[in-house]
Amino acid sequence: DIVMTQSPDSLAVSLGERATINCKSSQSVLYSSNNKNYLAWYQQKPGQPPKLLIYWASTRESGVPDRFSGSGSGTDFTLTISSLQAEDVAVYFCQQYYSTPPFTFGPGTKVDIK
């Protein structure tokens, strides 16, 4: 199975500042035949289910604010919140959906306000 890691475990950012979360997979999740990275990002607020933010590593889900962006390829990926808002306090998870299941999640990164 592909192992996903994330860094940092948690971070605190001032309102309006940038937050950056890293995700690394134990093997490439880039499918050469279509040049797509099979990597998604989810946001989970306390007491709520996860919400899909980004898929194909950089495609925002409909309705997701453009302050959220994803980048990276192969085994190294980044989720960036360009200007942190109070409602962005949450835990963020990456997930690979490459090849066959199980489609493993990263351990999560908690984002708080400084």
Partner 1 sequence: EVQLLESGGGLVQPGGSLRLSCAASGLTFSTYAMGWVRQAPGKGLEWVSAISGSGGNTYYADSVKGRFTISRDNSKNTVYLQMNSLRAEDTAVYFCAKSRWTTVTLFDYWGQGTLVTVSS
Does residue 22 interact with partner 1 by CB under 8 A? no
Q: SS3 for 39?
A: strand
Does residue 102 interact with partner 1 by CB under 8 A? yes
Short-list 55, 57, 53, CA closest to 88: 53
Does residue 97 interact with partner 1 by CB under 8 A? yes
Does residue 95 interact with partner 1 by CB under 8 A? yes
Q: Please give the Cα distance from 3 to 24 (Å, whole number).
A: 8
Q: How far is CA 28 from CA 8, 71, 88, 89, 90, in A?
A: 21, 14, 29, 29, 27
Does residue 65 interact with partner 1 by CB under 8 A? no
Alpha helices in 1-114 (DSSP H): none
Q: Which is nearer to partner 1, 1 or 112 (CB)?
A: 1
Does residue 24 interact with partner 1 by CB under 8 A? no
Min dist. Cβ of residue 15 to partner 1 (A): 26
Min dist. Cβ of residue 16 to partner 1 (A): 28
Token representation of residue 42: 């989810």
| Contact set with partner 1 (CB under 8 A) | 1, 38, 40, 42, 44, 48-52, 55, 61, 91, 93, 95, 97, 100-108
